[in-house]
Structure 1
Amino acid sequence: MTERLELSDATLREWDAIVLESDRETGIVLDRSAFYPGGGGQPPDHGVLLWGGVQTRIVGALKGDDVRLVAHDDDPLPPVGTAVRGAIEDDRRTALMRTHSGLHLLSGVVFRDFGALVTGGNMEPLEARLDFNLESVPEGFRDAVEAACNVEVDADRAISAYELPRDEAFAIPDIIRTATNLLPPTIEIVRIVDISGLDVQADGGTHVASTRQIGAMRVTKIENKGKGFRRIRIALAP
């Protein structure tokens, strides 16, 4: 199994590794990797592997039993046993970290102020959306949500990640902020992302260290997605 470096240090951008598997169809597996492979609405990282004077661009990841990196079609694959230097595309990763943390902040604000749970979501760098089980929205809802989010950004609340046994994690009130519990029953250790004093959720993504690092948030659109469901779209300052 690949050692997941990004889960313990989301700021890591370069590291050394050894190639364990290398195949055009099934991907490249490293013994150590900081590439986030995607999940929970967060897209996979992009970056490069450097080896023997050669550069292999990493453009995605395959879902499977391990972190399987997808190389650009035009680039060579490092053979098994090769020592490589991995590097993450910093602008993309940082933007996704800010965006993912921004979605957790949005979820915390809407749950706190309106009691609504998340029913779906998606993100790209600096743009994202969350769907909520909201029957209706009051007048001024969009401005109120945007203002409340930016109050929490300015509050500079600490964002931390840690692991708990499943029973301890589920003892935390409202630990699952989605209308449906998507956490597989086979997972015994749950990773928690905690925005101090605002939001605590089970989550496997990468995040910034404080709400201030998210930056200014705009609610760009509120959409009606059917009876009892509303979509909130956000954008972050570049």
Structure 2
Amino acid sequence: MRHDHHGRTHRLELSDQTLREWECTVLASDPEDGIVLDRSAFYPGGGGQPPDQGVLLWGGVQTRIVGVRQRDDLWLIPEPDDPLPPPGTAVQGAIDDERRSKLMRTHSGLHVLCGVMFHDFGVPVTGGNMEPGEARLDFDFPEVPPGFKDTLTERLNEEVLADRAIQVKVLPREEAYQLGPIIKTATDLLPPDLEVVRLIDIDGLDLQADGGTHVASTRQIGRIEVKKVENKGRGFRRVRIRLPE
């Protein structure tokens, strides 16, 4: 299977993270399973980033999309009371721009956090999650230095103001691993049968395998606040961040 497809669906968001509206055709439609499109920019969720929401416009009506099921195909989950476009229907897809854009800023902010923690403290990530504007990463970090929260906040925003470019690269697996440590988690979670790897490269700060959506530079993230640093025991530290409006 091509890296930019999931089942029968061409995943447009992997190559164009700015895309918000597009034309497509319904391949399957089922009240229980949902809707399969031939082309979709709905991010299906993964790596802690939740799936996109939005609408499909067709025949003078709209079908609201509230989530995605990842099976052999990508099944868009419609609002239960909305009409379903039949297979073969030409529709226009549209992403909830405010939600997606905030998730892109948040996800890129997590990569800045990961990069700073890896470079400054040499600690790997053990878990994470995000919602629009708020997120957390967990680290294997036994000793937290004095004043860590304030120091980390300052470092994160130094990297934001540095306006580092954030680029997407797709490389054969062996070539990707030759670039250096592209896995910043404690465990390598890349499937063994994955032939090509999608990388997110924050110039000079962070390079890692990632399938999510991101802004084009660190300055576009906006200010990052470290809300809390939690001690979860046995060297387990949780760092919570937020992006103020």
TM-score interval for Structure 1 and Structure 2 normalised by the shorter chain: over 0.9
Instruction: Give TM-score scaled by structure 2 length.
Output: 0.96
Is the aligned partner of 1:150 residue 2:157? yes
Counterpart Cα distance in 2 of 1:31 and 1:137: 49
Is the aligned partner of 1:47 residue 2:54? yes
Identity of aligned residues (%): 68
CA RMSD in angstroms, aligned pairs only: 0.6
Which of 22, 25, 34 lines up with 1:18 in the alignment? 25
2:226 corresponding residue in structure 1: 219
Q: Deviations over 1:6-61 (max 9, x none)?
A: 01000000000000011122221100000001000000000000000010000000
Counterpart Cα distance in 2 of 1:66 and 1:151: 42
1:56 corresponding residue in structure 2: 63
Amino acid at match of 1:101: S
Amino acid at match of 1:81: G
Task: Map 1:49-88 to 2 at 5 A.
Answer: 49-88=56-95
Instruction: Give TM-score scaled by structure 1 length.
Output: 0.99
Bigger shift: 85-94 or 167-176? 167-176
1:87 positional shift: 0.2
SS in 1 for 2:27: strand
1:63 positional shift: 1.7
Structure 2 unaligned regions, length at least 5:
1-7
2:166 corresponding residue in structure 1: 159
Amino acid at match of 1:212: R
Which of 21, 43, 64 lines up with 1:36 in the alignment? 43
1:130 positional shift: 0.1
Bigger shift: 163-172 or 150-159? 163-172
Is the aligned partner of 1:96 residue 2:114? no
1:170 positional shift: 1.2
Structure 1 unaligned regions, length at least 5:
none
SS in 1 for 2:127: strand
How many pairs does the alignment contain?
Answer: 238
Counterpart Cα distance in 2 of 1:47 and 1:197: 35
